[in-house]
Amino acid sequence: RKEVEQDPGPFNVPEGATVAFNCTYSNSASQSFFWYRQDCRKEPKLLMSVYSSGNEDGRFTAQLNRASQYISLLIRDSKLSDSATYLCVVTSNSGGYQKVTFGIGTKLQVIP
């Protein structure tokens, strides 16, 4: 089983729609969680951290469910500019140091 699993998509949604991505992780001792965004032919950039209590940043909401070992990203009122690949990132302890593991990414295409 992969350490971090995501549905690669693509998710094709109309402008204004709400879309949600899930990501599951296998290591129950994982400690930190993030969503990164990667535009075509660009490097990944941090979108938001994911906190246990859930957190929101404008149209974006991230949630963590430790019991079921998944994190989610909800995008409301999708914009064309939201089209990108969204990477789930999980960190865990590896021999005393943190190992950062990326999911395969979920591709989102927002269509007019």
Partner 1 sequence: DVKVTQSSRYLVKRTGEKVFLECVQDMDHENMFWYRQDPGLGLRLIYFSYDVKMKEKGDIPEGYSVSREKKERFSLILESASTNQTSMYLCASSISKRGNTEAFFGQGTRLTVV
Interface with partner 1 (CB under 8 A):
8, 31-32, 34, 42-46, 49, 87, 89, 91-92, 94-95, 97-105
Give the nearest distance from C-beta 66 to partner 1 in angstroms. 15
- The residue among 12 and 93 lying less far from partner 1, judged by its C-beta, is 93
- The residue among 18 and 94 lying less far from partner 1, judged by its C-beta, is 94
- The residue among 43 and 112 lying less far from partner 1, judged by its C-beta, is 43
Give the nearest distance from C-beta 38 to partner 1 in angstroms. 9
HEC string of the chain equals CCCEEECCCCEEEECCCCEEEEEEECCCCCCEEEEEEECCCCCCEEEEEECCCCEEECCEEEEEECCCCEEEEEECCCCHHHCEEEEEEEEEEECCEEEEEECCCEEEEEEC
Give the nearest distance from C-beta 97 to partner 1 in angstroms. 5
Give the nearest distance from C-beta 4 to partner 1 in angstroms. 9
Strand partners, 99: 92
